[in-house]
Structure 1
């Protein structure tokens, strides 16, 4: 255990480096050891296409129904058997004793008697059945949602659900319960965290088979560490209190070596201390929500869409988590328009799981594109963020480098040729200088090439045309040669520069086509793509903020302020609420516009913006159609319910009405003389059946 003291910080820093390797750096405070401890299980499986989108739609639907999100409490341990499930069940019993409605939604006792005793007496929710009706050990999310307890106890957050389940992982089931307003108490081992995937593999020699997104665990309302010394855990293992003796094999024995357990324990303690550090930096809960987004540090990692990106992303995620910062992964679509990144989607999914943001930018040169992206998204708002200025600066740097290199080459060439002057013809000298000018044009463009052509002409005149070391030219043929040289050098420079511009333009258009293809794919994807498309537009064009605005049908105005616009989606700080607040507005439809706030776009970007607007317009119309379809479905369900209710009570309605009608008809029959008793009987029947109708 950590002991409070002034000198423990460096000791614990060294401890973490022993656990996770020297590439991990931690700022640890020994005072955080006061966090309550209690002595008392590859690669993340990818979600099949479509399942994640449908799950997100269900979570959004539950959240849109006005339900307050449930609270999540997680018991964290460093290995199986430290007592997480026992502590979780103990918490469930305490809550039930306080009168809270608690249900065991998914708890595996692993055959441990003390855990089974803790679960005894607590209500257990029904488990899911497979296609043939056979009960399984999987949690039935629908049954828990229908039961609606105050607290659901869900063991093993990283558990992988059986094939055919609605969600691929149990943590996705938990998200649905939280969105429905149900509090959840759960457990997780430290080696299941996605960002620690490579660290755990380095410790145990085996990659975790199941992972949990870091964001879900970090954002839990309560985290409690369940701790036990490695020696005590090994004694429990030897006594059969963790796994049955028949399950013990060489792999388990290797995993439960004291050295591995000690390193995993240190890793869990340091990770929990970092969470406490985050809490202290964030301050009280009310202040957290008011903290401006620009106050957070940003950690940017450039990815190529290859398997080698995953360790880098995880390391950046750990750095961002320790500093309470934001992780941004940037992928540069090459200027040639061909994005050879077969592993990009898994990297995108990994970034999402560790709580980061994935962005794509277009650029002919990867370093330039990343630098433009970094400066244009500088978190300090006082600094100007003009993408065009940055791009120009990069181009000027390249021209300056070409000019300096050209000057050095010209001086060196002049010195070398001067030493061999008597052995070389003037035409050969001019060809050498022409080669240098063309090279400068290739490297830096037209601006440094034209001065190089003029300087080359002057150097040839001064050093190599008689009389030398004067500006006079004795031979008229040399005058013609010098004039032809400068014209040819300038003309070739213009042609080279024009070709380079055309090539760059073709590459840029190819990259833009690639970006549009990705945009189209997102529009065609399931779910609502509008928020992601708006963020993609902001990063692609390098503006501060983007909004999709729709005019209100009533055109409502208040006090001279035009409040007649609804913000359908927005990205960036200070997103426009009205077209007047934007620097550029593009029409998406009759009553919908795209508003961009930031640096004015260059003319060659307007065509791409128009294409983006077309795709955004499709997304807006798709959202409107989805809302209309949902409303139509709701109306159809209401009509069906009304019809079913009427069909159910029609018999109960017809019988009293028939009795009343028969009694009234009999009383009005003049051909029959009814006695007073018979008339009273008819009237009593009418009264009873009327009361029956009133009850219905």
Structure 2
């Protein structure tokens, strides 16, 4: 049963997840020169052959037109139910993309590649549905006629007299893995039409009969054959360049000039065919001028459509800013090594004293570049019709400024006249006034008025007869004309300088935004900061609400909304469930979507993937609801910002991976050291324990009590060594994992030291151990259990590495806000080169313990970790005249005496 959809909001229904594998589907196009050549039948026949070979085939959508041969070939194939879409009360059937992705056959058949989907569908065009199927790993067979190729539209329309709306970009056709030309003789095609095999309806047959004329069909057939041959040449050329990677050849670079004219599409298509024919690069250039802002909404929409067409035909879009259009185009062409420039030219007749048109100026500015002029019916950049004329805006402030300047100039002129100055000096004052007026007022109207009024005022006050607009002198008309011309020229040059300054300021602002974005992203410390800085810069540039969806653990996280200033918009309006569904689609497909695009066009935001290659780091959304579409330059800057953001996020991701690798390397080194220590250093005490136990078991009757006691003592000592080692390992593990909870309390140092000395190695009886405290009631803030372990480790070290009878002193004293604890001995000391590494894990000095063993190097490392956790420091120094002093500090606690 067909699924019913009502309204445009239905396009946001649950989107099926794409397959995890990265395998892409293959596209085969059955290509014809006219309807009725047998494309659909050829596709269905090929599908039956694939089905016989064991391929899972499904017919997604087939236009049978009730043709008997087509209906016969549909038998035996699975027909997928169509999707019913209701829009404005009209029910239409469309291909069900979601059902196809869930069904996931090996091969799907789809008629009419250039079909425009009904309003409310996810994509505007069927070729976009097919692109999503291919990304899902599903192979597609489809059909198309020659008149539906974008770059051939003008040529085909000149033959048939009909311009079709359903067209596909050439890049879609070029990306096909296989193209099969379905050919038939024009006479046979006309015979099929007459027999009713193409249009069973007689009325439709009569309506299309004018297309089935042998001359027209022959021309269309020739175009189809040539286009198919070109496609085969492209494939062969691509293979050849892959084989001969070291062969160098200079490519042509074709530049097309974009405009807001509707007929500019013809120029773009011609340039695309030229770039294809010359196998060269293709660039579309737009020169933005101050007049761009004065275009009507209709022409702005036409300009955006021309940009989109150029992108679809494979052009690299470039935008420059300036008032001299030919000069900007020529400079860009020289810098980019353009070999051919394609422009449009109107059919307007050239008049006397008319300005040179764009093509003539380009020829003069770029004499070494081939310029191709395509006949055009409209001006290249903008039309001089009333709807483009912006009426001057009157301002009370500018009117007052103009009046004030004229009054001041007149007063100065009267003063000069009173002093007997010549009229030339007074004229200079008025010209200076016109210049000043152009600087302080906005628009050309006030400058023009100031120029004319200045001449009239000069005539009224300073020429005979005075206080009238008559002039008796024969030279006065020339004087007036020169004065008026000088005023106009001065004001015009001043206005031009102001406009250039404004343009420079605008370009500097936009450049500063990019530089500021790059600088802030470099200073950002993590992913959140990078996204925050990028969003803030986008809000600053576009003055729109920005939403970011960061990618975390292979899925989009909760949206981050950045509202524009003084915005009273509810963030949920732009980040609800429907909008998040679009963002999720953009993330999975790595394509833009949303408002002003052909995918999810009913969305409130425009969605762009923040990507580095095929990896998407985030999805950025620009609120477009009730807002005008992005301007050309704004869009290019926004894309540049997102590119900078992607680079920063990719760098951050690589840094995180590098940190993880470093941690893994450290963990591996720790593991290796532990294994080394356990396998080598633990062997000695374990061997001793097992050996002594074996002696006791086998010779218990022979051994004397003194010998048994010695063996028991050795077993006990080795066991205690192992127990202390395990305790140190467990403590280090707890500290490294952050699971060590400190129970900080004020403790008396005398009691803590005494408790530690009770648990030191029993061989301490062979050494002189003493305790020295500066104060009887000396207290420090500590976890006594851990500090006792520190004291035991350090004192045991002194016992193990000093000779019998050595003196070991544990002392403590107050040092301002800290308590300093020192353990000194008079043993052989520690080499200077060993002191720097003494507290490193698994480091052991060269000296050998008294029992001949070498420790694992964990005790002092553990001491450092514990003291650092207490907020203190630990160090080692030489004991004068001989020995070593270990020193660590703890936070002092005042002793409270209760009376």
**How high is the TM-score relative to the length of structure 1?**
0.50
Query: Is structure 2 residue 187 aligned with structure 1 residue 191?
Result: no
Residue 313 of structure 2, aligned match among 354, 379, 395: 354
Q: CA separation in 2, counterparts of 1:49 and 1:328?
A: 35
Instruction: Indicate how the Cα distance of structure 1 residues 135 and 330 shifts in structure 2: closer, same or farther if over 3 A, else same.
Output: closer
Q: CA separation in 2, counterparts of 1:552 and 1:540?
A: 18
Query: Is structure 2 residue 35 aligned with structure 1 residue 105?
Result: no
What's the offset of the Cα at 1:507?
Answer: 2.9
What's the offset of the Cα at 1:495?
Answer: 12
Residue 375 of structure 1, aligned match among 310, 322, 334: 334
Q: Within 5 A, what are the aligned runs for 1:143-158?
A: 143-158=99-114
Q: Within 5 A, what are the aligned runs for 1:513-528?
A: 525-528=605-608
Partner of 1:552: 652
Instruction: Indicate how the Cα distance of structure 1 residues 557 and 504 shifts in structure 2: closer, same or farther if over 3 A, else same.
Output: same
**How high is the TM-score relative to the length of structure 2?**
0.40
Residue 365 of structure 1, aligned match among 320, 324, 328: 324
Whether the 8 Å contact between 1:336 and 1:510 is mirrored in structure 2 is: no
Q: Within 5 A, what are the aligned runs for 1:436-515?
A: 501-510=497-506
What's the offset of the Cα at 1:502?
Answer: 4.4
Whether the 8 Å contact between 2:255 and 2:338 is mirrored in structure 1 is: no
Partner of 1:205: 161
Q: How many residues get paired?
A: 407
What's the offset of the Cα at 1:247?
Answer: 3.5
Partner of 2:179: 223
Q: Which has the higher helix share?
A: 1
What's the offset of the Cα at 1:503?
Answer: 3.8
Query: Is structure 2 residue 220 aligned with structure 1 residue 264?
Result: yes
Instruction: Write the deviation string for residues 254-299 of structure 1: whole angstroms up to 9, x where unpaired.
Output: 11122211111111111112112222322259559x7999965432
Q: CA separation in 2, counterparts of 1:220 and 1:234?
A: 30
Query: Is structure 2 residue 427 aligned with structure 1 residue 328?
Result: no
What's the offset of the Cα at 1:326?
Answer: 3.2
Whether the 8 Å contact between 2:259 and 2:306 is mirrored in structure 1 is: no
Q: CA separation in 1, counterparts of 2:510 and 2:226?
A: 43
Residue 83 of structure 1, aligned match among 14, 21, 38: 38
Instruction: Indicate how the Cα distance of structure 1 residues 243 and 73 shifts in structure 2: closer, same or farther if over 3 A, else same.
Output: same
Whether the 8 Å contact between 1:337 and 1:509 is mirrored in structure 2 is: no
What's the offset of the Cα at 1:171?
Answer: 1.5
What's the offset of the Cα at 1:315?
Answer: 0.7
Q: CA separation in 1, counterparts of 2:192 and 2:223?
A: 21
What's the offset of the Cα at 1:166?
Answer: 2.3
Partner of 2:756: none
Q: Within 5 A, what are the aligned runs for 1:170-185?
A: 170-185=126-141
**Higher relative contact order structure (alpha carbons within 8 Å, sequence separation ≥ 6):** 1
Residue 73 of structure 2, aligned match among 95, 108, 118: 118
Whether the 8 Å contact between 2:37 and 2:182 is mirrored in structure 1 is: yes
Whether the 8 Å contact between 2:150 and 2:169 is mirrored in structure 1 is: yes
Whether the 8 Å contact between 1:92 and 1:102 is mirrored in structure 2 is: yes
Larger Rg: 2
Instruction: Indicate how the Cα distance of structure 1 residues 507 and 142 shifts in structure 2: closer, same or farther if over 3 A, else same.
Output: same
Partner of 1:303: 258
What's the offset of the Cα at 1:49?
Answer: 11
What's the offset of the Cα at 1:558?
Answer: 7.0
Instruction: Indicate how the Cα distance of structure 1 residues 284 and 338 shifts in structure 2: closer, same or farther if over 3 A, else same.
Output: same
Partner of 1:438: none
Instruction: Indicate how the Cα distance of structure 1 residues 276 and 96 shifts in structure 2: closer, same or farther if over 3 A, else same.
Output: same
What's the offset of the Cα at 1:379?
Answer: 7.8
Q: Which sections of structure 2, spanning at least 5 residues, go unmatched?
A: 1-6, 340-360, 366-422, 432-488, 514-539, 548-604, 612-619, 621-632, 663-899
Query: Is structure 2 residue 336 aligned with structure 1 residue 237?
Result: no
Instruction: Write the deviation string for residues 48-103 of structure 1: whole angstroms up to 9, x where unpaired.
Output: 99999x99x989x849x543221100010000110101110111011111111111
What's the offset of the Cα at 1:180?
Answer: 0.8
Instruction: Indicate how the Cα distance of structure 1 residues 503 and 111 shifts in structure 2: closer, same or farther if over 3 A, else same.
Output: closer
**Secondary structure, in 3 states, of the residue corresponding to 1:227?**
coil
Whether the 8 Å contact between 1:127 and 1:136 is mirrored in structure 2 is: no
What's the offset of the Cα at 1:162?
Answer: 2.7
Instruction: Write the deviation string for residues 326-345 of structure 1: whole angstroms up to 9, x where unpaired.
Output: 32211111156736352211
What's the offset of the Cα at 1:126?
Answer: 1.8
Q: CA separation in 1, counterparts of 2:8 and 2:330?
A: 33
Query: Is structure 2 residue 259 aligned with structure 1 residue 160?
Result: no
**Secondary structure, in 3 states, of the residue corresponding to 2:606?**
coil
Q: Within 5 A, what are the aligned runs for 1:513-662?
A: 525-528=605-608, 530=610, 536-537=636-637, 548-550=647-649, 551-552=651-652, 555=655
Q: CA separation in 1, counterparts of 2:545 and 2:314?
A: 20
Partner of 2:271: 316
Instruction: Write the deviation string for residues 659-694 of structure 1: whole angstroms up to 9, x where unpaired.
Output: xxxxxxxxxxxxxxxxxxxxxxxxxxxxxxxxxxxx
Q: CA separation in 1, counterparts of 2:261 and 2:90?
A: 42
What's the offset of the Cα at 1:121?
Answer: 0.5
What's the offset of the Cα at 1:177?
Answer: 0.8
**Secondary structure, in 3 states, of the residue corresponding to 1:283?**
helix
Residue 23 of structure 2, aligned match among 68, 71, 76: 68
Whether the 8 Å contact between 1:538 and 1:546 is mirrored in structure 2 is: no
Q: Which sections of structure 1, spanning at least 5 residues, go unmatched?
A: 1-47, 381-393, 399-426, 436-492, 563-696
Instruction: Indicate how the Cα distance of structure 1 residues 506 and 356 shifts in structure 2: closer, same or farther if over 3 A, else same.
Output: same
Instruction: Write the deviation string for residues 206-251 of structure 1: whole angstroms up to 9, x where unpaired.
Output: 1113111211111111111111111010011111111114234543
Q: CA separation in 2, counterparts of 1:226 and 1:69?
A: 26
Whether the 8 Å contact between 2:171 and 2:314 is mirrored in structure 1 is: yes
Partner of 1:665: none
What's the offset of the Cα at 1:201?
Answer: 1.4
Instruction: Write the deviation string for residues 572-604 of structure 1: whole angstroms up to 9, x where unpaired.
Output: xxxxxxxxxxxxxxxxxxxxxxxxxxxxxxxxx
What's the offset of the Cα at 1:545?
Answer: 11
Q: CA separation in 2, counterparts of 1:331 and 1:377?
A: 14
Q: CA separation in 1, counterparts of 2:50 and 2:90?
A: 32
Whether the 8 Å contact between 1:51 and 1:167 is mirrored in structure 2 is: no
Instruction: Write the deviation string for residues 517-553 of structure 1: whole angstroms up to 9, x where unpaired.
Output: 9866797851116579999359999xx9997323426
Moved more, 296-305 or 148-157: 296-305
